[in-house]
Amino acid sequence: MSSIQKNPFADMPLNTALTDDAAKFIETVSFEDMPPNVLHIGTRCLLDGLGLYVAGSDHDCVNILASLAEDTGGKAEALLPGRSGSKVPAPVAARIMGTAGHAHDWDDSQVSHDPDHVYGLLTHPTIPALTGALVAAQMRGGVSGKEFMLAFMTGFEVETKISEWILPQLYKRGFHSSGVVGTFGAYAAAAKILNLHGDELRWGFGIAASLAAGIRVNFGTMTKPLHVGRACENGITAAILARAGYTADPAAFDGIWGFCAVFGGGVSPDKITQGFGKTWSIDNPGVSIKPYPCGVLTHPSADLMLKLVKENQIKSSDIARITLFAGSNILNPIRYPIAKNSLQAKFSLPAILAMIVINGKAGKKEFTDEFVGSAAMQSMQQRISTKFDPAIEAKGFDKMRSSIEIELTDGRTYRGDADERYRGGPDNPLTDGELEDKVASCTEGVLSVSETTRLIEFAWKILDLQDASLLMTLLQKNNSSY
């Protein structure tokens, strides 16, 4: 006996023209269309991203990819960060750069004011868009700093708008937003520099939509940063194929079989009226530049732990137990109760709190397998637990809320609430000086002090550069010779 089943998409806003709108935005947006604040924040994101490529360039997950790429060979199109002049095919370079940029989970986070979104878990917007622009600039050559920044901000805008507009089922179903939606950021930035137009632009979105992938089960492993690497590679590949005349559906974002329906169940009908580039997402709601190399959901708790330890002069030997209280938006994704290695530690509240207690900080040096696996770290993590708090849960997911209670061996107890204006967010941003300090910590052990100074200097004056591909030479060891 047959039955008629209701179309599951019948009540969803799928009759859209997002693909066409995105393509027209890429084709027509000009440098003059960007407000000064967009350029200022974009330059900060550029500097942050450049430092992160270097930070990840000597990570195991990047060394494996880079060694395989160098062994495989191919057309020498684009440089790799930290590899002293090594060039590989453009899509492969994008894969390695994207993985390096996300290797430490230190890259920026998109901000949303929508209480239906899980805060902080939209996309990490800079690395895909920046990688797309950097690789495409090397492919084409002679891309000015102004043209480069326009392409970077174009990719950033397309990526963040799609991430904001698509329904939150994308993340709730287990997709990694940066690995999926990041593909469009890399593609849009590359398409702008490679001067794609008309049907080429629309085909490119269709190709990118079929390549987008990444699932959250791999958080805490090497494959998590590879999600962003593949997003960058796929974005570049889509641009190259589309430019060569490779066809795809010209409306791949739209309809019941389009990207938005299949991955997220639709889009918000109210939000899509914002359009691309009318308000720029990098400025409003903004972007969070991370002070810690781990999941952003841990950051307010880390700052609270640091405050409690400093104000009360608490030593690790004084602590009997620590309890962190939070809602499901933090406790579910930050899922490792005891981190055994650095990758797990990026998604472990006991790990980052233990780092703060033991070393008074949680940076690149703390997020190593040696430090996380040390006896002191393993012992301290055993004294730290997390607890679901219904009162915090009831306040919603528009902020990252948590509380910490510390019980000392002598019976004294200290408790505090995390600052909802978390450090690094639009309401409490890192200063330019703090950002430069972060970049210096990223490059430590890879670039010399003078090389790092040069990298920072040229990032700030990006608009004056005649050829933006110079930025890639600054990511190489011994870059003073360029």
394-410: pLDDT as tens digits: 998 878 899 999 999 99
Quickly count helices (H) and strands (E) in the chain.
Answer: 21, 8
Q: Which two tokens stand for residue 45?
A: 């994101």
pLDDT in tens, 103-122: 999 999 998 888 777 655 68
d(CA 386, CA 404): 9
Query: Could you tell me where the beta strands, DSSP code E, fall in 11-153?
Result: 78-79, 87-88, 109-110
Q: Average pLDDT for residues 149-158, to the nearest whole number? A: 98
Q: Give the pairing type, strands 319-326 and 384-388.
A: parallel
Find where tokens 């950002």 sit.
Answer: 435
Q: For the beta carbon of residue 375, count every other beta carbon within 10 angstroms.
A: 7
- Which domains are assigned to the chain? 18-288 (1.10.4100.10), 296-417 (3.30.1330.120)
Which pTM was predicted? 0.91
How many angstroms separate the Cα of 28 from the Cα of each of 23, 31, 112, 197, 301?
9, 10, 26, 9, 43
> Looking at this protein, which amino acid is placed at residue 319?
I
d(CA 77, CA 87): 6
pLDDT in tens, 312-352: 999 999 999 999 999 998 999 898 999 999 989 999 999 99
pLDDT in tens, 30-68: 999 999 999 999 999 999 999 999 999 999 999 999 999
Amino acid 457: pLDDT: 98
